[in-house]
Structure formats: C-alpha cells, structure tokens
Amino acid sequence: MRAAHDTASFADPVALRTPLYEAHLAAGARIVEFAGWDMPVQYKGVLEEHAAVRERVGIFDVSHMGEVTIDGAGALESAQRLVTNDLSKCADGQAQYSVLCNEKGGVIDDIIVYRYSPSRLFICVNASGREKDFTWMKDHAEGARVEQRSDDWAQIAIQGPQAAALVDQLCQPKVIDLAYYHFRDATVAGVPGCIVARTGYTGEDGFEVFVPPGGARKLWDTLVAKGATPCGLGARDSLRLEVAYRLYGNDMDEDHTPLEAGLAWIVKLEKPSGFIGSDALKQQKAQGLKRRLIGFKLTGKGIARHGYPVLKDGQRVGEVTSGTMSPVLKEPIGLAYVPTDLSRIGTAFDVEVRGKPVAAQVVKTPFVEKIK
C-alpha cells in the first residue's frame, strides 16, 4: 500500500512505503527492503516482540500485502477453477486458505479467499504477488470481473492472547463472537469501512484488519495507546516458523507443488470443476512424491538458514527453506525439502552450516503448539 505522498509506481526501482511508514520511523524501527517495500524488521528487538505476541498482544503492519476482488454472477465458479481448495464448502462470511497453481502444479502463491457471496469474493495475496497474481487471475478467469484493489487497503494484524479483547472493544459491531477464519465489515477505532477477519500468521488468536489507507495511522496509534507492541518482520518470521506456517518464496514456489509442501489438506482434487494444475497434481499423487517439506531440529550446534544444504552420508540431498533459533523452545528449528525416504519422523541427516556438517533430525510439526 503506497502512502499518499509516495508517487512511485509498481515499475519504479525504488522501494514502496505503506501509510504507516512515518509511524515506524517515529517508533525507532529498523527499516529493510522486503518484496520491494520499505518495511520495519524490528523496533526494540525480535525476541521482545516475539514474546509480546506469545504472551500479550503485538501488532504488525502488513499493508504491503495485495488485494484482488472477483465479482459477478460467475465469480464463485470462476474462482473454483483458479484455486486448489473448494469454495463451495466456504460459507458467506467465511475465509478459506488456498493456493494458486500453474499448469505443472507449481505454487504461484498462497492466498486467503474471503467469501461475501457467490458473486463477490475478496482475495488477499502476498506482497510479491500483488501484480503477478492479479494478472494471472484476470487472464484465466471466465465469466467474472477481476479487479486490482491493493491500493484501496492498508492492513494491520493484531495477534496474541489479549488481541481478541483489544480489537473487540474498538469495533462496532462487536467481533468477539467471530469464529476462526470468519470476517465482518466494521468500524474500528472510529474508522469506517474496515474488514475484520479472525485470521493470522502467528499461531495465536487475533485479527487481521483491512483498513482504508487514510485511517491506518489512527488505528495503529489507537492500538499502541491501548498497550499493543509494534512488531516487525523479524518476529513475524520467527512466530510463523514456530508453528510451521509456510512462507511463499522460501518454503514453496512455482518449482514445488502444494503436495510436496505438505499442503495436501487444501488441495481438493475431487472438485468437479477441477482447477488449473489439478491434472499435474493427480499424476504426481498417483506416481508418489519424490520429495517432501519436513520440519527438523538441529541436534548439533548451529543455526540452519535458508539455502543451507541438507546432507546424507556426505552427499547433498536437499535444501533448508527456513530456519531460526526458536525463541520459545530455545532450540534451532527449520523446514527443508528432502527425498521422501528421508522424511519420516526421527530420520537423521546433516545440515551444512558455514561449511561444516551439523547433525539434525526430522521432527513433528508444528514445533510450538498453535492456539489458532
């Protein structure tokens, strides 16, 4: 989401800025470039921000995410052919996690579809997919109108054990009764025209609020004044990894399928309409997976990072996609693609950390139990 004063276009080489950029600077945030955006990676420190979300309530600026709408009499049928999950099982007022696939079954992006009605769908995409996903959906949609709405919204995530009570006191109508993965239009902190969804990327209870850009600073400042801790991308990454949520571009991409990424639960191959990539995924399932994304802990000393080689008997057999030192477990954890025969829980292998093999073991995920 560009700030009103930011005249950069999507084609410009300079980083874009959200409507909350000045708030981040005022709070002393360390700014980094992420998916073409100037974003806060941390304020006072990743560990402190991570703990705030696990123990109290933290807020994240996620306005860099994109939004697309699909409208018209054929919206639901059109979207069914685009996504892997089954939107006919999603009720009005409910959200559904899904994936867009290419013809080979590779992951174009992971998304959340918010169903207002069979003729009105609101879709949140990753920052890197704002233009890519929109173009792909528009090119492949039939019988429906696809519109780019990313500049119409900022987005703030409020997460943690105290998040629900905090958001509810600011909302009209109330939202405390919203079930997980449901949403409602509301006025929040006096800002009308918001969408409040009981979703998140941390494993904790909470909401993600889509807010008109002009009201984003008012909502952010109100949340801070009510005791919420501003959190950056660093804590967002460590929180999502502890509950093994996938990160697009790391743990899945167009060269890996959702079946390989452990997302078979959102791939509905039995849908009568089928979807783009379903034939390739049916074939892959029938032939058996040759590689899988697994969770692991290092049993030796070190921290695994994205791109580090996975070794078996000294030979490279896979690659780490995400890794960190878990703030909750105080252990090094990670996700990696390995051959299927090395994917069983308890299987031992090595990760090459700074040129040296470090012992690792496949473990059950999530690493930390999810609340939501």
Q: Tell me: do 100 and 236 sit in the same domain.
A: no
Q: Are residues 223 and 174 in the same domain?
A: yes
The pTM (predicted TM-score) of the whole model is: 0.94
Instruction: Judge if 91 and 224 occupy the same domain.
Output: no
Residue 364, domain CATH? 2.40.30.110
The separation between the first and the last C-alpha atoms of the chain, rounded to the nearest angstrom, is 27
At 71, which CATH number?
3.30.70.1400
Q: How many CB atoms are located within 10 Å of the residue 221 CB?
A: 14
Instruction: Report the alpha-carbon distance of residue 175 to residue 179 in Å, rounded.
Output: 9
> 141 is written with which tokens?
């949609």
Domain co-membership, 230 together with 204: yes
Instruction: Judge if 48 and 71 occupy the same domain.
Output: no
Number of domains in the chain: 3
Which pLDDT score, from 0 to 100, does residue 62 have? 98
Rounded to whole angstroms, the Cα distance separating 143 from 309 reads 46
Flag whether 368 is in a domain. Answer: yes
**Residue 132: domain span:** 66-150
> Phi-psi bin for 257: left (phi > 0), alpha (psi -120 to 50), beta?
beta
The CA distance from 240 to 178, in Å, is 22
In terms of domains, do 201 and 124 share one? no
In a domain, 319, yes or no: yes
Verify that 73 and 122 share a domain, yes or no. Answer: yes
Statement to judge: residues 51 and 165 lie in one domain: yes
Amino acid occupying residue 96: Q
In one-letter notation, the amino acid at residue 122 is F
Q: How far is CA 90 from CA 114, 143, 200, in A?
A: 9, 20, 18
Full strand arrangement of the beta sheet holding 16-17: 16-17, 37-42, 30-34
| Residue 348 included in any domain | yes
Residue 105 CA to residue 205 CA, distance in Å, equals 32
Look at residues 35, 38, 8 and name the one whose alpha carbon lies nearest to residue 23. Answer: 38
Domain boundary among 100, 134, 150: 150
* CATH code where residue 179 lies: 3.30.1360.120
* Residue 199 φ then ψ, to 5°: -135, 175
Q: Is residue 170 part of a domain?
A: yes
Together in a domain, 27 and 129: no
Within this chain, do residues 80 and 50 fall inside the same structural domain, yes or no? no
If asked whether residues 57 and 158 sit together in one domain, one would say yes
Question: Long-range contacts for 188-195 (Cβ within 8 Å, ≥24 apart)?
Answer: 188/219, 189/215, 189/218, 189/219, 189/222, 189/223, 190/218, 191/215, 191/218, 191/219, 194/219, 195/114, 195/122
Per-residue pLDDT of the chain (372 residues), as tens digits, is 323 223 233 334 578 999 999 999 999 999 999 999 999 999 999 999 999 999 999 999 999 999 999 999 999 999 999 999 999 999 999 999 999 999 999 999 999 999 999 999 999 999 999 999 999 999 999 999 999 999 999 999 999 999 999 999 999 999 999 999 999 999 999 999 999 999 999 999 999 999 999 999 999 999 999 999 999 999 999 999 999 999 999 999 999 999 999 999 999 999 998 999 999 999 999 999 999 999 999 999 999 999 999 999 999 999 999 999 999 999 999 999 999 999 999 999 999 999 999 999 999 999 999 887
Residue at 259 is within a domain: no
DSSP readout, 318-361? EEEEEEEE-TTT-SEEEEEEEEGGG-STT-EEEEEETTEEEEEE
**Cβ contact 345:338 at 8 Å:** no
Looking at the domain assignment, is residue 326 inside a domain? yes
Last residue of a domain, one of 96, 130, 150: 150
Amino acid identity, position 175: V
**Is 33 among the domain residues?**
yes
Domain for residue 98, yes or no? yes
Q: Which of 99, 121, 150 is the last residue of a domain?
A: 150
DSSP 128: G
Same domain assignment for residues 21 and 124? no
The residue ranges of DSSP E strands in 19-149, in sequence order, are 30-34, 37-42, 58-61, 66-71, 94-101, 107-117, 120-125, 145-148
